[in-house]
Structure 1
Amino acid sequence: MSRTEQEQANLDLVLGMFEHVLNPMDSGAVDRFVSPDYIQHSQLAPPGRDALKAFLDMIKAETPEAVHDVKRAFVDGDHVTVHYHVRRHEGDLGWAVIDIFRVQDGLIAEHWDVMQDVVEGGPNPNSVF
C-alpha cells in the first residue's frame, strides 16, 4: 500500500490522538491534535473543541476503565477512518465504532462517527471486527 508523506502524517496524527487522548481520556492533550475550529458531527457530543474536552472529562468520570481498541485504520488524502472496539468496563461487549476524521493544517478539523452494539449470537457467525 502506497501512501503520500502527508497521508502518513495524517494517519499518525489520528492514531496519536487515540493513544494520547482517547485511550487515557486526557482532555488536556486535545489541543495537540484537534483544531480550535473543530467541527463535530457526532450526535453524542456537542460541537467544538472545548465541548470535546468537557465530553471526554464526563466520559472519564463515568467510565474510567473504558478502552478504545483500534482494529484497522485507513487514510485517503485528508480523511482518516478508524474502526475500533469500545468497551466501557470489564465484561462489557461494547460498541463497534467507525470514526472518520478530516485533517487540515496538521490538526483534526472535522469528525463523524457511526456506532453499533456488539452482541453475542445472532444469525451471522462473523465478528464485527
Structure 2
Amino acid sequence: MTTDNKGIVQRALTELIGTGGVEALEPLLRDDFVHHRPDSTSSTKTEWLAAVRAALPPLAGMRVGIHHLLADGDHVVMHSRRQLPDAGPEITVVDIWRIDDGLIAEGWEIIEPTAQAAANLVWWEPVER
C-alpha cells in the first residue's frame, strides 16, 4: 500500500512538472480534496488547482530535486528543493499528502527559502529592531 501511495504522489508531481499544467493533476485529486497552509488557511480542490495554475507561468523551467519520499500508511511525505531557472531563488519544501482510495485527499506544505534557513534555526530568539 505505501509503495502504491508513493507512486501516486510521484505520478502527480511528474504530470505537473512534465506537462506544465494542472489538467493531468486534477484526476489524481479527490473531489473533496483540501489543501492546508501553515497559516491555518485551507483551500478546496478547485481553489488549489486555480492557485497552482496561476503560479505555473512564473515557475516554468523550475528544477525539482526530491531528497526524501517516505510513506507510512495513507500518508506520503516529500522533502524537495526547488529552484527557478537562471540561478533564481531556491526553496526547500516539505509536502505531506494523505491518500484515500487511490486519490490524493489532503495536502499540507511548508515552504522555506533555502537562503533564510540559518536564520530560522533560531526562530525563538528576539528579533532586533
TM-score of Structure 1 vs Structure 2, range by shorter chain: 0.7 to 0.9
102-111 or 28-37, which deviates more: 28-37
Report the CA distance shift for 1:104/1:93 in structure 2 as closer, same or farther (over 3 A): same
* Secondary structure of 2:24 counterpart: helix
Q: What is the rounded CA distance, in whole Å, between the counterparts of 2:70 and 2:7 in structure 1?
A: 11
Counterparts of residues 10-29 of structure 1 (less than 5 Å)? 10-22=5-17, 24-29=19-24
1:67 corresponds to which residue? 63
Q: Which of 33, 53, 57 lines up with 1:38 in the alignment?
A: 33
| Amino acid across the alignment from 1:40 | H
| Amino acid across the alignment from 2:61 | E
| Amino acid across the alignment from 2:50 | A
8 A contact 1:41–1:112 mirrored in 2:
yes
| Amino acid across the alignment from 1:42 | R
The TM-score normalised by the length of structure 1 is 0.79
Q: Which has the larger radius of gyration?
A: 2
| Amino acid across the alignment from 2:97 | F
Q: CA deviation at 1:76?
A: 0.2
Q: Aligned-residue CA RMSD in angstroms?
A: 2.4
1:78 corresponds to which residue? 74
Q: What is the rounded CA distance, in whole Å, between the counterparts of 1:67 and 1:93 in structure 2?
A: 11
Q: What is the rounded CA distance, in whole Å, between the counterparts of 1:8 and 1:121 in structure 2?
A: 31
Structure 2, gaps ≥5 residues long:
120-129
Q: What is the rounded CA distance, in whole Å, between the counterparts of 1:37 and 1:16 in structure 2?
A: 20
The TM-score normalised by the length of structure 2 is 0.79
8 A contact 2:33–2:45 mirrored in 1:
yes
Q: What is the rounded CA distance, in whole Å, between the counterparts of 1:48 and 1:68 in structure 2?
A: 25
